[in-house]
Amino acid sequence: MLRRIFGIETEYGVTFAWQGQRRLSPDEVSRFLFRKVVAWGRSSNVFLENGGRLYLDVGSHPEYATAECDSLEDLVAQDKAGESVLRELVDYAERELANDGARGSVYLFKNNTDSAGNSYGCHENYAIERIEDLSRLEQVFIPFLVTRQIFAGAGKVVSAPRGAAFAMSQRAEHIWESISSATTRSRPIINTRDEPHADPERYRRLHVIVGDSNMSEFATMLKVGTAAVVLAMIEDKTTVLRDYNLVSPINALREVSYDLWGKDTLKLASGRDMTALEIQEDLCERAERFVESRETPPDFPNVVRAWRDALEDYRAEPMRLADRVDWVAKYQMIDRAIERDGLALDSPRVALIDLLYHDTNLERGLFYGRQRLGHTRRVVDDARVVDAASRAPSTTRARMRGEFIRVAKQYRRDYTVDWVHLKLNDELQRTVLLKDPFEAHDDRFERLLTSLERRSGRAPS
């Protein structure tokens, strides 16, 4: 499979404070945050006109799932659109709280840990071929995921046995298995629960839960794009790939996270020792040959070039990646603050920098301060993000879902949707089942839409 469907589910941290003091619990804040959502769809779990899904997850975490995308630019725009949608809810919640006499600010963080040590996720989804033998995933894809922290980590100051330390990844400390059907009890690198949201005889949905939430558009693009290329090589049985199986993937995940400069080697089951960078370089070299030898989507050669550039910069001097990689940008900010103000790594001011890097407020967030100064490399512009907040990708099944929701709302019709169903809740209970996520057009959908408009009996609102 060369053309690939992918998407990201992001859980956000939320709090409410006034003059530095936390005034409401996350559960209370989330209830205010989702009042508007409930008004939209009589539920805190809704699909949006851009094809994505917005809901309140366990632990009072707002969660946004992008629509199905088949291009990296669409994915990045959809991911950033999720921030935009939630910022609107934050503004609404602050007004509602003020009306109830609660002065203060709602903070929405796109990170993966809170002050109590809890972790919440950023899950990637990839449509893959219906394969039952997962050995190539264990031999190649898991080592790839373990070592891609070099460019995909969000960075965090953590409490280590020998004191505070800086780590590449926020999620590495919270993952306990390589492959499992569980998501919360054991938190595996790859979740194998078989929910394809598509034709189960043709597709499988690979659910990756090891990744960090990225503020950097470039890191999001590289994280998902390189994974898509590696999956294409794994599915292509003619592509020769080395067995990178790690003796202990979970230990390696943590080791890589603390090894900022990529000096330590990892034990492979074959008896070899390789650094994280060497594994990434070897895979990138094979990916270069792969995209040169066959017709691939335009995203593939572009992301492989970006992959090679990132690895070369990391080998030469990791700080060169500060415009593209979150952990490097954050490390640089913290390092400068420590040097300038004589701070300790475990000081409250460093912890505040660590947290505010992920603040999604465009004026207050430290990442967006860097972006305003031109210190980040972007993938899409603001206009593309605005469009993605209300319009689904035009080349996948999400186009039909988004259009159905828009028209149903326009004519004030009662409807139900999920990833595969579009249903009008009328006397006929008409339903269209969309089992192919790659198909953006379907005659049954067009008939349903026409019928909706003709039989509504109401003027559009």
Domain-located, residue 401 = yes
Residue type, 385: V
Which neighbouring-strand residues pair with 13? Answer: 109
Whether the predicted pLDDT of 122 surpasses 70: yes
How do beta strands 13-18 and 105-109 pair?
antiparallel
Domain-located, residue 445 = yes
Structure tokens at 288: 């270069």
Domain-located, residue 420 = yes
Owner of token pair 């994915």: 75
How do beta strands 45-47 and 21-24 pair?
unpaired
Decide: helix, strand or coil at residue 438: coil
Domain-located, residue 446 = yes
How far is Cα 393 from Cα 77, in angstroms, rounded to an integer? 10
Number of domains in the chain: 1
Provide the domain limits for residue 407.
Answer: 397-455
Angle between the 72-99 and 217-235 helix axes, to the nearest 10 degrees? 140
Give the rounded percent of residues in the chain with a pLDDT score beyond 90.
79
Domain-located, residue 370 = no
pLDDT-wise least confident of 7-11, 44-48, 57-61, 416-420: 57-61
Per-residue pLDDT tens digits for 96-106: 998 988 888 99
Domain-located, residue 317 = no
Which one-letter DSSP state was computed for residue 268? B
How far is Cα 325 from Cα 443, in angstroms, rounded to an integer? 43
Confidence class of residue 192 from pLDDT cuts 50, 70 and 90?
A: confident
Instruction: State which H helix or E strand residue 109 sits in.
Output: strand 105-109
pLDDT of residue 51: 98
Residue positions annotated with a catalytic role? 57
Domain-located, residue 112 = no
Contact assessment for residue 209 and residue 191, using Cβ atoms and an 8 Å cutoff? yes
Domain-located, residue 444 = yes
Per-residue pLDDT tens digits for 335-377: 999 999 999 999 999 999 999 999 999 999 999 999 999 999 9
Provide the sign of the torsion angle of the four alpha carbons 278, 283, 284, 289, taken in this order. Answer: positive
pTM for this one? Answer: 0.95
Confidence class of residue 17 from pLDDT cuts 50, 70 and 90?
A: confident
